[in-house]
Amino acid sequence: MIASNQLCTFRLANNLYGVEAQNVQEVIRYQEMTRVPIAPSAVSGLINLRGQIVTAVDLRKRLGLEPRDKDTLPMNVVVRGDEGAVSLLVDQIGDVVEVDAENFEAPPDTLRGPARELIRGAYKLDGQLLLLLDCELAVQVPVE
């Protein structure tokens, strides 16, 4: 593992998550989505990002968390993957933080369900844990 790493952070259900900043294309406000018939439930739809069609994956559903309030609009963290850009729908955008490898630990034992597979580990920050999301696995939405 690298001695230090920059992570783009965001919140989901009061927990702090991060993805490697090098994988992030951009962070944008809520975008109108076009629903995709018979898509897995974690796929909220498609967004048009300046002419580029991008799949929007709801990380709350992907991680097995409670649904977002209907009145709350998600934010988009657009990441680049092998298959192109994918938008990760999150509750709130955070900062880009630099973390040290010495503060990295295995995923907490309290993680259950899909989160157990999608979290690579955790960084101890001042008074909170930053859960490192495996971006490649998170965008691979299984067919239901």
pLDDT tens digits, 14-71: 999 999 999 999 999 999 999 999 999 999 999 999 999 999 999 999 999 999 998 9
Query: Is position 122 within any domain?
Result: yes
The CATH number of residue 17's host domain is 2.40.50.180
Q: CB 112: neighbour CB atoms within 10 A?
A: 8
Query: Is position 93 within any domain?
Result: yes
**What is the chain's mean pLDDT, rounded?**
92
How far is it, in rounded angstroms, from Cα 24 to Cα 85? 9
Whether 4 has a pLDDT exceeding 70, the answer reads no
Query: Is position 144 within any domain?
Result: no
* Structural domain boundaries, residue 74: 4-138
Question: pTM of the full predicted structure?
Answer: 0.92
Query: Is position 29 within any domain?
Result: yes
Query: Is position 54 within any domain?
Result: yes
Helices (H), the chain: 59-62, 114-118, 135-138
Give the chain's domain count: 1
Query: Is position 55 within any domain?
Result: yes
pLDDT interval class at 9 (50, 70, 90): very high
Query: Is position 143 within any domain?
Result: no
